[in-house]
């Protein structure tokens, strides 16, 4: 009897899922794109957060078998993520689709339906967060340039380095070095085309080459990664965080960005876009720095952009005198206790 009841409930849930997709398809078919996306995104989010991984995979297959997929894939943004022409979803040309809204760049070629969906999807809260992330990093670069003469800056998995487009420091060539590291030669060619004249250095290398010390780029005052950590499991992310930190000069800064769990777009991204990320909350971000010796750290900050979709870990390296004092005092001194508590509470207390 209980098995029969469970089967009935499963059938009812499947009918409800199909009914939701049918309704959104009807809205799209009558030109009500924004209304359809407003209904679709939270419905997919709820299912992604509530279903088990196995049940979600089954539901995602249902989505891709529904006629709604054909309409959504007329959108160049959705379809590029799904088709992965460079082997992964969040490539640099796809991010340019997101930045185009802010820059006033012309949208890519598409059908009328595709253009209308594109206008909606690239204005989602996740896309707003990606634009805010770019602005946050550009502001931080300009701030660092104001604080010290000719800093050396490294962007990991730089893509097209579009934060440089917003940096006054880049246009005024106020940095000592600005290295854009990426394994994608097409992305590096675009960096050279757009920012080479300002002195930005494109460097072809993989994360694996960095981790195995096969690439020596020197030391930097600011090392950051925008979207890379969204794809790294914990062990690899911790190891890369440590490696990035070792590339800092004293009082240099490290920044890592990551999407937060539970974002509105999560269900849409994982179903119709086949774009899966590794999400991290505040405590997860703190764990990324676990391999760094405490006496080497001046301070740690955790902040989120205004949309509460993306979180940032910022770690400042101690100066040489503080590191030497820390080595003499060990991990159990008062500075360590204070900083450990601040990290757990998510506040900012400089040592």
For residue range 150-163, list pLDDT tens digits in order. Answer: 999 999 999 999 99
| Of residues 341 and 244, more confidently modeled | 244
pLDDT at 334 over 70: no
Q: Can you tell me the distance from the alpha carbon of 243 to that of 79, in angstroms, rounded to the nearest whole number?
A: 35
Would you list the DSSP string of 72-114?
A: HTTSHHHHHHHH-TTSSSS-HHHHHHHHHHHHTPPPPP--HHH
Which region among 138-147, 155-164, 192-201, 339-348 has the lowest average model confidence (pLDDT)?
Answer: 339-348
Digit-coded pLDDT (tens) for 80-112: 999 999 999 999 999 999 999 899 999 999 999
| Of residues 326 and 263, more confidently modeled | 263
| Of residues 245 and 332, more confidently modeled | 245
- pLDDT at residue number 329: 52
Core vs surface per residue 272-301: b (16+ CB within 10 A) or e? bbebebeebebebbbbbbeebebbbbbbbb
**Please, what is the average pLDDT of the chain?**
89
- pLDDT at residue number 333: 31
| Of residues 150 and 13, more confidently modeled | 150
pLDDT at 200 over 60: yes
What number does CATH give the domain 127-262+277-345? 3.40.50.150
Q: Can you tell me the distance from the alpha carbon of 116 to that of 234, in angstroms, rounded to the nearest whole number?
A: 38
Core vs surface per residue 199-233: b (16+ CB within 10 A) or e? ebbbeebebeebeeeeeebeebbbbbbbbbbbbbe
Under the banding of pLDDT at 50, 70 and 90, the label for residue 306 is: confident
Report the share of the chain in percent with pLDDT over 70: 87
Which region among 24-38, 117-131, 205-219, 289-303 has the lowest average model confidence (pLDDT)?
Answer: 205-219
- pLDDT at residue number 307: 85
- pLDDT at residue number 339: 39
pLDDT at 322 over 80: no
Task: Give residue limits of the domains in the chain.
Answer: 2-124, 127-262+277-345
Task: Assess contact for 110 and 172: CB atoms under 8 A.
Answer: no
Does the pTM of the predicted model rise above 0.85? Answer: yes
């Amino acid at each position: 009897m209980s098995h029969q009841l469970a089967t009935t409930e499963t059938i009812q849930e499947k009918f409800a899922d199909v009914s939701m997709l049918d309704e959104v398809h009807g809205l799209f078919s009558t030109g009500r794109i924004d209304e359809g996306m407003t209904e679709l995104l939270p419905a997919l989010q709820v299912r992604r957060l509530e279903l088990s991984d196995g049940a979600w995979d089954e539901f995602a297959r249902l989505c891709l078998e529904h006629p709604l997929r054909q309409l959504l894939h007329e959108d160049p943004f959705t379809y590029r993520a799904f088709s992965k022409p460079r082997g992964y979803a969040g490539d640099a040309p796809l991010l340019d689709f997101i930045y185009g809204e802010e820059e006033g760049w012309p949208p890519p070629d598409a059908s009328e339906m595709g253009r209308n969906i594109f206008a909606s999807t690239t204005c989602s809260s996740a896309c707003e967060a990606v634009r805010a992330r770019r602005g946050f990093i550009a502001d931080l670069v300009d701030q660092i340039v104001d604080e010290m003469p000719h800093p050396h800056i490294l962007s990991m998995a730089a893509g097209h380095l579009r934060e440089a487009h917003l940096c006054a420091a880049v246009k005024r060539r106020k940095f000592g070095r600005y290295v854009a590291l990426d394994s994608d030669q097409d992305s590096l060619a675009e960096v050279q085309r757009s920012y080479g004249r300002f002195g930005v250095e494109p460097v072809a290398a993989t994360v694996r080459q960095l981790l195995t010390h096969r690439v020596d780029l020197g030391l930097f005052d600011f090392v950051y990664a925008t979207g890379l950590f969204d794809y790294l499991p914990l062990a690899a992310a911790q190891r890369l965080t440590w490696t990035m930190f070792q590339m800092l000069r004293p009082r240099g800064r490290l920044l890592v960005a990551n999407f937060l769990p539970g974002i509105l777009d999560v269900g849409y991204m994982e179903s119709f876009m086949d774009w899966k990320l590794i999400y991290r909350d505040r405590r997860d971000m703190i764990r990324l720095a676990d391999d760094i010796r405490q006496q080497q750290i001046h301070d740690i900050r955790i902040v989120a952009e205004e949309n509460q979709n993306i979180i940032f870990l910022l770690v400042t390296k101690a100066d040489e005198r503080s590191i030497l004092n820390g080595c003499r005092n060990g991990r159990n001194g008062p500075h360590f206790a204070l900083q450990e508590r601040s990290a757990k509470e998510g506040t900012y207390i400089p040592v």
